[in-house]
Structure 1
Amino acid sequence: MESAQRMPAEGRQRVAIARVVPELDCGRFPVKRIVGDEFIVEADIFADGHDELAAVLRYRGPGETGWREVPMTFLGNDRWRASFCLTELGLWDYTVLAWIDRFATWQRDLRKRVEAGQDVRVDLLIGAELLESIASAATDQDASFFRVVAARLRSDPDAVELALDPELAARARACDPRVFASEYPRVLRVMVDRERARFSTWYELFPRSCAPEPGRHGTFRDCEAWLPHIAELGFDVLYLPPIHPIGRTHRKGKNNSLVAGPDDPGSPWAIGSEEGGHDAIHPQLGTLEDFRRFVARGRDFGIEVALDLAFQCSPDHPYVREHPEWFRRRPDGTIQYAENPPKKYQDIYPFDFESPAWRELWLELLRIVRFWIEQGIRIFRVDNPHTKPFAFWEWLIAEIKHDYPETIFLSEAFTRPKVMYHLAKLGFTQSYTYFAWRNTKAELEAYFTELTQTEVREFFRPNLWPNTPDILTEYLQTGGRPAFLIRLILAATLGASYGIYGPPYELCEATPLAPGSEEYLNSEKYEIRHWQLDSPHSIAPVIARVNRIRRENPALQQDWTLRFHPVDNDELIAYSKTSPDRQNVIVTVVNLDPHHRHGGWVTLDLAALGLEADTPYQLHDLLTGERYIWHGARNYVELDPHVMPAHIFVVRRRVRSEQDFEYYQ
């Protein structure tokens, strides 16, 4: 009796389905794609014995309850593949179904018997029985067809040609009742985002520093005057640090000093004052109507405004008075301010997500996000998400994307790799990376191979920032103008999405607060700055050129085709990207040393680039306009960082002659 109880519910399912790709953490999390993508699924499908199999990929879009299907194709070695087009934003489901194709098995064996000259009269009767079984589950028109064919197989011993008709097999497979079919035990998911989730170019700007004259607090109307400049540079996302009222209690002064002067504006991340909290506008920036106008004007220039989500409060935030239960108190009765020992942030109170009132806190923070969505915002840069509960983010992002699937969340989590990856799995659309601190060729190649050629790419979309208001790396501090050009070109060509903390990067600002510090001297986090964008030191023309190259070359608008190519000099790095249709090929070579000229031999993987070993090809440098004819895989490159530290080559195939440089794509 016990043995019978341990038997499977259905022991006649003979097909096994394994190694479905893509699948993330046994289906716990969705993989990520972009609307319009062809979504390719593969699986190992096999059974005992030698029967023929059939399989379908089942899928359904957001809100659909019934499955759609596409037949899977046998690749070899028990591997099968199918695909479908992701036509809508949101969360899609997919799984695999497979079964024994009895009619195809019968047809295969019949063909072998005929070729061997055997008597197949009984085999034709078996085929007739199979067709009648299929007819019993088919529609009226198909059922009539199968019964007519079955009758012919029963009555005509010479009906072999009809029995072996490939179209008959295909029609039988389409109507197969799929007896004892096996379904993959998990329904898997894919989150489909809009194109900007994969390809975006960010510019960070403090709106309070946008006034045309020094010493005045900028407004949103002042920010509108910056939009043509940002658009000319080629940026399509304008990210604003917090725009809310700033607290006065424990306000930080210039350079993060503990005592603020009477005119010090404080840190925008110390959110909240008597003027309001997370759903309010700093009164010196303007009104909510001014903000909505600014967002609309940005759209006129092809620029989307992104807001900072910093879920924390100044001591003056209305929440502190109205919801004291959302904050943690120390034994002396004071509220616990933010700390990262030995650093102290007395001007910021973190929320207590372990409060008994956590549900009310979650709902209020969701309301804040919805509020800004109602003002026209669809991109959020999230401050330090790794300091809030994972469950909170999974819930909040899912709630928002259920109603607004076009929303993009950028995770600013400079923390341990597994935490960064987990946040991406939970729903963050894009993520900051370690790019700022990866300087050598070995570091860059290892890191970006991990990001683009392993399972990480299924869920983690990197957004590369060479600097931020918190990060002025030693490389930028010591490398001068060439260092800024090098890191710009690396970010813009290694990653489909990248950003810069704008004016300081344009002007190559590189003075740290102190030796060994990554903080800026006279940091804009604590004071209003005035920027001379027409400075002769500006690298704005190169930024604009690089961003134009990105817009005009589809190869640079995705990450999965990134490939590194050997160079016999460790100060030179070479890599390529190819558009999905392989018609656009970009090869980038960068001198990583901002101080010295370097040369070396680059060895290209010609097959990966669609090039023939015995045919010369042209490389057109999109940075300088120069053109070169290369022969074979191995060619010499030399770069002076004080002239231009990189080549961004577009590859032109099938050169006719070296004399006239004629070429075809």
Structure 2
Amino acid sequence: MPVGQDLDSVIGMTGRADLRLGITDVAPVVSCGSFSARAVVGEHVPITATVFREGHDAVAANVVWSPPTEAGSAPARTGPDGSPGPLNRMAKLPPEPDRWLATVVPDREGRWTFRVEAWSDPLATWHHAVEVKVAAGQGPEDLANDLEEGARLLDRVAGEADPEHKDAVLAAAAALRDTSLELTARIAPAFAASLQEYLHEHPVRELVTRTPEYEVWVDRPRALYGSWYEFFPRSEGPVVGGIATHGTFAQAAERLPAIADMAFDVVYLPPIHPIGKVNRKGPNNTLTPGPDDVGSPWAIGSDEGGHDAVHPQLGTMEDFRAFVARTRELGMEVALDFALQAAPDHPWVASHPEWFTTKPDGTIAYAENPPKKYQDIYPINFDNDPEGIYAECLRVIRVWIDAGVKIFRVDNPHTKPLNFWHWLIWEVKKTDPDVLFLAEAFTRPAMMHQLARIGYTQSYTYFTWRTERGELEDYGRELATNCHYMRPNFFVNTPDILHESLQFGGPPMFKIRAVLASMMSPTWGVYSGFELFEHVAVRPGSEEYLDSEKYQLRPRDWAAAEASGRSLAHYLRRLNEIRRAHPALQQLRTLHFHSVDNPNLICFSKTDPGSQDAVVVVVNLSSHNTQIGTTALDMPALGLDWHERFAVSDEIGGGHYDWGQFNYLELDPYREPAHVFSVSLPRPVRFPPPVS
């Protein structure tokens, strides 16, 4: 244990002992500690703080990192890996002289806490003073007081030293007092590397100043890393006589091996509940459905049930449980849409009309986002009966947790009150801490960030609309900077979003966007049909698909696409295999952009802290033209010196190369628009990398 005087016994000039030393800018801290920072099990989490004091005496700092505890038990000080260990010292973080860093690695889920302790370091102050005075030629008479002060400091350490080191500490103190020895011999034992190492872990701490405790919620790794595949089970039915028939869970399960073969981790399903019959939408969002039109799954509820029911044409709850079980057998898990809205014939409308908004004419208001109208959906008014609505929403989500769902993709959370989500998410985590929530919130930045702060595990992002190098780099840096609370999910397309780059970029653009999404973000996703290069919009200038699967069945002939070579499935599989093989690609905070002398080329890297794994990615952003350029790599960001050479292997196109800081590239989008280079590093990566 460190030796020292606790701050509570020290009276400062201000009368406030807690202000004796300066500690500012502690991170990761979210909204001044109002919300928990985020991490996942096994993630290297940097804890930083600015530490300073008056005068010239040395200061030091440590982190007290405490794991989740059972109710009523006291938190224990832990080492950087979460296990009981020595004092978790912080180190200086260049180039700022007063910035300090320690890295911790949580080993279990739950609510961890940390605080920073700053303290005056008399041993370091003494060590520096003696070094300087000896170098200036001062003799033992000049250093008499210094030598005695050092001996007394070592006496304090010896009082609590373990038997293995106590003799060495006492011997060093005795040498400092031994006037029969030459000066260098007197100080040599105290300056010995082995003793200095012990003193570093067992320092003398004075004027100990503590920050408040801050929280870090630690999720399972899937919260940070995963590959998502979205598809509609109802489109998996057979085509009979040229007419698509409604699929079942059993038929949809037949699609799962192909999804697993593409190395996806999460199978995301749109709502699977009964669909409203009143104001049902027809093909391409028309208001004139035929008797066999299936409607939008997001228009939830009918006389067949509501949010806690399964659409009868898909099967039963037992059929759904079997689908979930089959997904797990294949090494994946199910994410289910959680859409809090109701069709006009949802059971809630009859039993709880107060949960909706009534217009002056007595009708219930349907959803609108002018000029768009959603006549088949009633928004919930959370202000009318919050207690009843909150309780019902919690009951519903627990129905699906009991059915095996551990991930919820939440539809339009930005249109519901923030305090509701804050309550619901943490009520769920009280009993099921491994449940994850994805915010489908394509909205203003302030709302997206606040949803993340209050508890959402992941968020949809603006990636879909970031296509130029500058905006991709700016957005990537923004996300990496805020990764202590906001985790992105880069979807390349959704049933609602077919970006113009995919409409007109041709097959190379599908590869480009897939590489960018899967390599930049630790979590990414595709909506079914992306691998078939589906790119036709309902009208010019629209991002809606023609014959959108939101409103009709859309069966696909996967086998014919594979046989004709019109499938990107093998490419998606290779990207996901690369992601699984390289822990560096499962990181967000290590994303780093490098210079390249062509604005149509983007170059970025990721490293895995503590290991020798690194990946460098170069992508041609033009889907129609070959681009050439030369990189100017930030070598320290890769843990390398500026002059070093290193080996790279192209994980997509094959080939092995000898690289350095400057490297020539040529990328033909019709052959291969990207290089994904695995890097053979000569030593483990420091984290964070030194500032260049």
Give the corresponding residue for 2:110.
Answer: 90
Q: Shift of residue 411 of structure 1?
A: 0.9
CA distance in 1, matches of 2:215, 2:314: 42
Asked if 1 retains the 8 angstrom alpha-carbon contact of 2:154 and 2:170, the reply is no
- Return 233-242 or 104-113, whichever deviates more: 104-113
SS of equivalent residue, structure 2 residue 584:
helix
Q: Shift of residue 379 of structure 1?
A: 0.8
> 1:283-309: per-residue Cα shift (whole Å, max 9, x none)?
111111111111111011011100001
Q: Does 1:526 align with 2:551?
A: yes
Distance 1:430 1:135, change over 3 A: same
RMSD: 3.6
Distance 1:561 1:66, change over 3 A: closer
Distance 1:561 1:41, change over 3 A: closer
Instruction: Please show how residues 346-425 of structure 1 align to structure 2 within 5 Å.
Output: 346-355=375-384, 357-425=385-453
Asked if 2 retains the 8 angstrom alpha-carbon contact of 1:32 and 1:190, the reply is yes
**Paired residue type of 1:446:** D
Distance 1:562 1:175, change over 3 A: closer
Q: Does 1:512 align with 2:532?
A: no
Distance 1:305 1:148, change over 3 A: closer
> 1:462-510: per-residue Cα shift (whole Å, max 9, x none)?
11111100011111111222222221122112222110111x2121111
Distance 1:93 1:598, change over 3 A: same
CA distance in 1, matches of 2:635, 2:91: 30
CA distance in 1, matches of 2:133, 2:511: 72
Q: 1:427 aligns with which of 434, 437, 455?
A: 455
- Return 92-101 or 224-233, whichever deviates more: 92-101
CA distance in 1, matches of 2:144, 2:596: 69
Q: Does 1:486 align with 2:515?
A: no
Q: Shift of residue 170 of structure 1?
A: 8.8
Q: Shift of residue 154 of structure 1?
A: 14
Q: Does 1:118 align with 2:141?
A: yes
Give the corresponding residue for 2:227.
Answer: 201
Distance 1:104 1:433, change over 3 A: closer
Q: 1:35 aligns with which of 34, 41, 53?
A: 41
Asked if 2 retains the 8 angstrom alpha-carbon contact of 1:486 and 1:590, the reply is yes
Give the corresponding residue for 2:359.
Answer: 330
**Paired residue type of 2:27:** V
Asked if 2 retains the 8 angstrom alpha-carbon contact of 1:129 and 1:150, the reply is no
Asked if 2 retains the 8 angstrom alpha-carbon contact of 1:272 and 1:313, the reply is yes
> 1:389-438: per-residue Cα shift (whole Å, max 9, x none)?
11111221122223222221111100112211111111111111111111
CA distance in 1, matches of 2:66, 2:642: 45
- Return 460-469 or 92-101, whichever deviates more: 92-101
> 1:531-563: per-residue Cα shift (whole Å, max 9, x none)?
111222222122222222222222322223333
> 1:140-183: per-residue Cα shift (whole Å, max 9, x none)?
999x9999999989999889959984799998998889665321
Q: Shift of residue 119 of structure 1?
A: 7.6
> 1:99-125: per-residue Cα shift (whole Å, max 9, x none)?
335576578768888964238888888
Give the corresponding residue for 1:472.
Answer: 498
TM-score of the two chains, using structure 1 as the length reference? 0.86
Give the corresponding residue for 1:225.
Answer: 254
Asked if 1 retains the 8 angstrom alpha-carbon contact of 2:118 and 2:210, the reply is yes
CA distance in 2, matches of 1:131, 1:616: 46
**Paired residue type of 2:545:** Y
**Paired residue type of 2:389:** L
CA distance in 2, matches of 1:505, 1:211: 19
Q: 2:651 aligns with which of 602, 622, 644?
A: 622
Distance 1:145 1:333, change over 3 A: farther
CA distance in 1, matches of 2:639, 2:178: 55
Q: Does 1:45 align with 2:51?
A: yes
CA distance in 1, matches of 2:536, 2:416: 33
Give the corresponding residue for 2:597.
Answer: 568
Give the corresponding residue for 1:66.
Answer: 75
**Paired residue type of 2:412:** N
Distance 1:53 1:335, change over 3 A: same
CA distance in 2, matches of 1:154, 1:479: 76
Give the corresponding residue for 2:120.
Answer: 100
Q: Shift of residue 67 of structure 1?
A: 4.5
Q: Shift of residue 262 of structure 1?
A: 0.7
Q: How many residues align?
A: 641
Give the corresponding residue for 1:238.
Answer: 267
> 1:420-464: per-residue Cα shift (whole Å, max 9, x none)?
111111111111111111112222222222222x3x222221111
**Paired residue type of 1:97:** E
Give the corresponding residue for 2:294.
Answer: 265
Give the corresponding residue for 1:22.
Answer: 28
**Paired residue type of 1:343:** K
Unaligned 5+ segments in structure 1 are 1-6, 655-665
Asked if 2 retains the 8 angstrom alpha-carbon contact of 1:57 and 1:83, the reply is no
SS of equivalent residue, structure 2 residue 348:
helix
**Paired residue type of 1:19:** D
Asked if 1 retains the 8 angstrom alpha-carbon contact of 2:613 and 2:679, the reply is yes
Give the corresponding residue for 1:457.
Answer: 483
> 1:339-379: per-residue Cα shift (whole Å, max 9, x none)?
11121111111111121x21221122122222211111111
Distance 1:470 1:44, change over 3 A: same
Q: Does 1:249 align with 2:272?
A: no
Q: Shift of residue 220 of structure 1?
A: 0.8
Q: Shift of residue 597 of structure 1?
A: 3.0
Asked if 1 retains the 8 angstrom alpha-carbon contact of 2:155 and 2:170, the reply is no
- Return 512-521 or 200-209, whichever deviates more: 512-521
SS of equivalent residue, structure 1 residue 203:
strand
**Paired residue type of 2:41:** V
CA distance in 1, matches of 2:222, 2:66: 23
Distance 1:567 1:132, change over 3 A: closer
Asked if 2 retains the 8 angstrom alpha-carbon contact of 1:253 and 1:266, the reply is yes
- Return 480-489 or 562-571, whichever deviates more: 562-571
Distance 1:54 1:625, change over 3 A: closer
Distance 1:438 1:212, change over 3 A: same
Asked if 2 retains the 8 angstrom alpha-carbon contact of 1:101 and 1:173, the reply is no
- Return 508-517 or 595-604, whichever deviates more: 595-604
CA distance in 1, matches of 2:350, 2:99: 62
Instruction: Please show how residues 272-287 of structure 1 align to structure 2 within 5 Å.
Output: 272-287=301-316
Asked if 1 retains the 8 angstrom alpha-carbon contact of 2:113 and 2:214, the reply is yes
Q: Shift of residue 206 of structure 1?
A: 0.4
CA distance in 1, matches of 2:606, 2:219: 22
SS of equivalent residue, structure 1 residue 68:
coil
- Return 560-569 or 434-443, whichever deviates more: 560-569
CA distance in 2, matches of 1:200, 1:571: 28
Asked if 2 retains the 8 angstrom alpha-carbon contact of 1:132 and 1:146, the reply is no
- Return 196-205 or 80-89, whichever deviates more: 80-89
Give the corresponding residue for 1:181.
Answer: 208
Give the corresponding residue for 1:437.
Answer: 465
Q: Shift of residue 573 of structure 1?
A: 2.4
- Return 358-367 or 156-165, whichever deviates more: 156-165
**Paired residue type of 1:61:** P
Asked if 2 retains the 8 angstrom alpha-carbon contact of 1:127 and 1:153, the reply is no
CA distance in 2, matches of 1:622, 1:108: 50
Instruction: Please show how residues 593-632 of structure 1 align to structure 2 within 5 Å.
Output: 593-609=622-638, 618-628=647-657
CA distance in 2, matches of 1:486, 1:150: 64
